[in-house]
């Protein structure tokens, strides 16, 4: 299981303070001035974007620019359309001086976009898309741009662990650019503009504002206007890409209603469908306090020292899995069937290893869906309960301490301290629930389970549903 790592501090030039607004959690603490956002919306409308049934407004509690329904909307109605000519995409960026140099250096699309945002926000040689870069807030909400003090509240969490890796990667990438692309193209990449703080801000902007289906690989793009759609778990819209223009050669991003929306209601989507709150906060700088999705992402890896590793790997690959699997855990859900099967295969050894024989190869994964043996199930319980308790011990505060803090901060839910508290509390509650589940199973439930050998005897009709043999009378009557 993964261990938590301490997050490093970020450059002082990127430090900022959280804003407290009206008792509501606001992760995107500093927003751009409404006038600049309004200017971008007007600019986009003049270039072909259409707010079909949407209008620019402001959140009454936070003053954050948002999009709201301009009229009552039905499911399936188109709210916004933005043609690909307005996207911050590799296709558009490569038309600029910076973009041409970045493309010639074969930089990944996300990196091309980030460098263009730096040029458009701080450089003198701006592109036609510069108004958008200028409209973005300095503070994008993501922990990538949090202060040292704010980051301390995430210590011990998976967000902190991921953040450490992200920052190390982005800094290494910047150093490579400095010694390579920037050094060979000083006119296009002046050192006073392409600094590490500017670069990290631009990378954060791409990560925060790029949403599926335009968030990965060559398709990645940041779409002005559409990026003002709010994050809500109970979303009322979705993003779609449709063909446009002659013979459908162009593309248009469409924001489509997924349910009826009343006039004035904020237009929203789920930034991280299927994701826990931690990754959404890190990747998009957003949380939905009205519908939290707390939890812990548990990574399980078969050890290379496993005597039966090759056999187990063959079984996993045959069933579309790998030796390393990650499962999201929440405080309210028990471990899923696939996770339990993986754990039983993980612990398969000794007398149970006969199930790995080639004669069972096509059936063994099916066997893992149910308890294999009492010893195997006990090993699974010990591994998960002890592992979860060890992870809980790695946090600087206990679950009980965080619960007390959460009650004390009930009136201060607007701060990032509270946001971080909810992240680590959600992780701890998920781990505690996991430990309790397997502790209880190990203490009271193992004797009540039906294991492989008994299931096999039942299929052969040699054991009844009460677990009694059906051939006792055969010997009792002396027929043998």
Task: List, for residues 179-215, the tens digit of each pLDDT value.
Answer: 999 999 999 999 999 999 999 999 999 999 999 999 9
List the structure tokens of 222.
């940041």
pLDDT on residue 28? 36
Q: Tokens 């049934």 sit at which residue?
A: 53
Domain segments of the chain: what residues? Answer: 12-283, 296-459
Mean pLDDT of the chain: 87
List the structure tokens of 265.
């209601």
| Mean pLDDT in residue range 346-351 | 94
* pLDDT band at residue 33 using 50, 70 and 90 as cut-offs: low
pLDDT on residue 470? 53
Taking 50 as the threshold, does the pLDDT of residue 304 lie above it?
yes
pLDDT greater at residue 99 or residue 417: 99
| Mean pLDDT in residue range 305-334 | 95
Closest C-alpha to 226, from 206, 211, 215: 211
pLDDT on residue 18? 32
Q: What is the β-pairing status of strands 268-269 and 230-231?
A: parallel
pLDDT on residue 85? 94
pLDDT on residue 289? 81
Q: Which residues contact 471 (CB under 8 A, 6 or more apart)?
A: 462
* pLDDT band at residue 125 using 50, 70 and 90 as cut-offs: confident
Burial 443-471 (b: 16+ CB within 10 A, else e): eeebeeeebbeeeeeeeeeebeeeeeeee
* pLDDT band at residue 478 using 50, 70 and 90 as cut-offs: very low
% of the chain beyond a pLDDT of 90:
73
Closest C-alpha to 389, from 436, 349, 342, 424: 436
pLDDT on residue 104? 95
Taking 50 as the threshold, does the pLDDT of residue 457 lie above it?
yes
* pLDDT band at residue 4 using 50, 70 and 90 as cut-offs: very low
pLDDT on residue 387? 96
Closest C-alpha to 208, from 306, 106, 280: 280
Taking 80 as the threshold, does the pLDDT of residue 473 lie above it?
no
The values of phi and psi at residue 441, to 5°, are -60, -40
| Mean pLDDT in residue range 389-400 | 94
In CATH, 12-283 is 3.90.1410.10: yes
Q: What is the spatial distance between Cα 135 and Cα 118, in angstroms, rounded to a whole number?
A: 13
Taking 90 as the threshold, does the pLDDT of residue 479 lie above it?
no
* Cβ proximity of 265 and 69 under 8 Å: yes
* pLDDT band at residue 421 using 50, 70 and 90 as cut-offs: very high
What pLDDT, in 10s, does the model give residues 216-274?
999 999 999 999 999 999 999 999 999 886 666 789 999 999 999 999 999 999 999 99
pLDDT on residue 244? 82
Q: Tokens 């759609």 sit at which residue?
A: 229
| C-alpha gyration radius of the chain | 27
Taking 50 as the threshold, does the pLDDT of residue 455 lie above it?
yes
Q: What is the spatial distance between Cα 205 and Cα 186, in angstroms, rounded to a whole number?
A: 24
pLDDT on residue 469? 57
* pLDDT band at residue 99 using 50, 70 and 90 as cut-offs: very high
| Mean pLDDT in residue range 21-33 | 37
In this chain, the answer to whether the domains covering 12-283 and 296-459 adopt an identical fold is no
According to CATH, the superfamily of the domain at 296-459 is Rubisco LSMT, substrate-binding domain (3.90.1420.10)
List the structure tokens of 471.
């051939």
* pLDDT band at residue 167 using 50, 70 and 90 as cut-offs: very high
Residue 339 C-beta-side C-alpha neighbours within 13 Å: 15
Closest C-alpha to 82, from 133, 110, 116, 41: 41
Taking 60 as the threshold, does the pLDDT of residue 22 lie above it?
no
pLDDT on residue 223? 97
pLDDT on residue 453? 85
pLDDT on residue 21? 32
pLDDT on residue 454? 81
* Cβ proximity of 204 and 144 under 8 Å: yes
> Angle formed by the axes of helices 196-209 and 158-177, to 10°?
130
- Ranked by mean pLDDT, which of 46-60, 90-104, 405-419 comes out on top? 90-104
């Amino acid at each position: 299981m993964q261990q938590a790592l301490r997050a490093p501090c970020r450059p002082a030039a990127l430090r900022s303070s959280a804003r407290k607004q009206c008792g509501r959690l606001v992760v995107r603490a500093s927003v751009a001035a409404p006038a600049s956002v309004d200017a971008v919306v007007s600019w986009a409308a003049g270039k072909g974007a259409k707010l079909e049934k949407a209008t620019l407004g402001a959140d009454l509690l936070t003053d954050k620019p948002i999009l709201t329904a301009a009229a009552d909307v039905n499911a399936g109605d188109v709210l916004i359309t933005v043609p690909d000519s307005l996207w911050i995409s590799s296709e558009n960026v490569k038309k600029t001086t910076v973009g041409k140099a970045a493309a010639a250096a074969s930089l990944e699309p996300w990196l091309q976009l980030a460098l263009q945002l730096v040029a458009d926000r701080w450089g003198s040689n701006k592109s036609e898309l510069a108004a958008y870069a200028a409209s973005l807030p300095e503070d994008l909400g993501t922990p990538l741009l949090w202060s040292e003090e704010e980051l301390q509240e995430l210590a011990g969490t998976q967000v902190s662990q991921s953040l450490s890796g992200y920052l190390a990667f982005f800094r290494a990438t910047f150093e490579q650019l400095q010694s390579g692309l920037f050094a060979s193209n000083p006119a296009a990449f002046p050192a006073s503009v392409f600094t590490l703080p500017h670069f990290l801000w631009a990378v954060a902007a791409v990560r925060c504002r790029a949403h599926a289906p335009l968030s990965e690989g060559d398709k990645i793009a940041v779409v002005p206007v559409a990026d003002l759609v709010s994050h809500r778990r109970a979303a009322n819209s979705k993003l779609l890409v449709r063909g446009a223009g002659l013979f459908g050669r162009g593309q248009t991003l469409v924001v489509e209603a997924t349910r009826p929306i009343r006039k004035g209601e904020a237009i929203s989507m789920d930034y991280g469908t299927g994701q826990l709150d931690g990754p959404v906060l890190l990747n998009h700088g957003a949380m939905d306090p009205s519908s939290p999705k707390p939890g812990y992402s548990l990574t399980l890896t078969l050890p290379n020292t496993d005597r039966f590793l090759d056999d187990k790997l063959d079984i996993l690959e045959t069933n579309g899995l790998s030796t390393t699997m990650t499962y999201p855990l929440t405080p309210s859900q028990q471990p899923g069937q696939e996770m339990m099967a993986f754990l039983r295969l993980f612990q398969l050894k000794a007398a149970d290893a006969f199930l790995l024989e080639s004669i069972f190869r096509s059936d063994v994964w099916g066997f893992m869906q149910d308890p294999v043996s009492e010893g195997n199930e006990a090993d699974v319980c010990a591994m998960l309960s002890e592992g979860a308790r060890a992870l809980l011990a790695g946090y600087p505060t206990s679950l009980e301490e965080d619960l007390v803090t959460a009650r004390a901060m009930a009136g201060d839910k607007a701060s990032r301290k509270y946001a971080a508290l909810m992240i680590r509390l959600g992780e701890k509650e998920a781990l505690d629930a996991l430990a309790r589940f397997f502790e209880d199973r190990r203490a009271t439930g193992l004797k009540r389970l039906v294991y492989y050998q008994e299931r096999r005897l039942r299929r052969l009709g040699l054991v009844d549903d009460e677990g009694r043999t059906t051939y006792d009378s055969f010997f009792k009557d002396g027929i043998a």
